Each structure stands twice: as C-alpha cells, then as structure tokens.
Amino acid sequence: MAENNDARPSWLTEDCPAWCSADHAEQAYAGDRVHTSDTLDVPAIVRVTDCRGGKTWHHVDGTEVTVALSRRVGERETWLYIGTPDRQELELTLESAERLAEAIGAVLRRTR
C-alpha cells in the first residue's frame, strides 16, 4: 500500500506485503480487496492458432505479456499472474512459478 495514503480503509487490518502497490480504498466488495504489485509488461511475439471451417490457421502476432503478484487480503498464498490483453491468463502459486521458470530455462538452454 502506498505509504503516503493516510486514510487506511476500515477493512484493512493487516500490513501490506512489501511488493504491494495497490491503492486500497473503501472497496465495498470483499472480492475486490487484493494486494497487487506493479505490473511488468513484456513485449512478445506469439503464434495464434485458429480453427474454423475444418481448417487450422496459424498466424504470428505481437502482444504484451503482463506479469504481476497478487494476494487476497486475509489470505496467505501469493500468486503470480501471467496474462495477455486477449484474456489468456494463468495464476500460479509462487512455488509453481519457480518450477515453471526452471523448466523454461532448461528448455531454452537446449536451444543453444
């Protein structure tokens, strides 16, 4: 939570994680009460597959992949969010994200 925000919401009874950059307000819905980090947007080239009319089409497109951390207020588990503007999303536990990062590194090392 931004330290310059003097008005702490009544529902926020815990400290924000060090990575939280959310502007917590008096959110009416408990489901909206989430600690979130700044996002990192990574430019990416993706292959898109489209199946229509019994045919499969592939095309290449540029996009951004967004990466961020989140944790619902009152919960202990921190999640890594990976998503694209067209709403392809993954939310992984930090342990799972670390395993995925190691696997990606191992696969990329095979290309060298």
Give the side-chain half-sphere CA count within 13 A for 29.
2
Task: Spell out the domain ranges in the chain.
Answer: 30-40+68-109
Q: Tens-of-pLDDT digits for all 112 residues of the chain?
A: 444 445 778 888 888 999 999 888 776 677 778 999 999 999 999 988 888 888 888 889 999 999 999 999 989 999 999 999 887 899 999 999 999 999 999 999 998 8
**Full-model pTM:** 0.78
Q: What is the per-residue burial (b if ≥16 Cβ within 10 Å, else e) of 11-24?
A: ebeeebeeebebeb
Task: Record the tokens describing residue 65, joined without a space.
Answer: 């992949």
Which residues touch 65 (CB under 8 Å, ≥6 apart)?
Answer: 41, 42, 44, 82, 83, 84
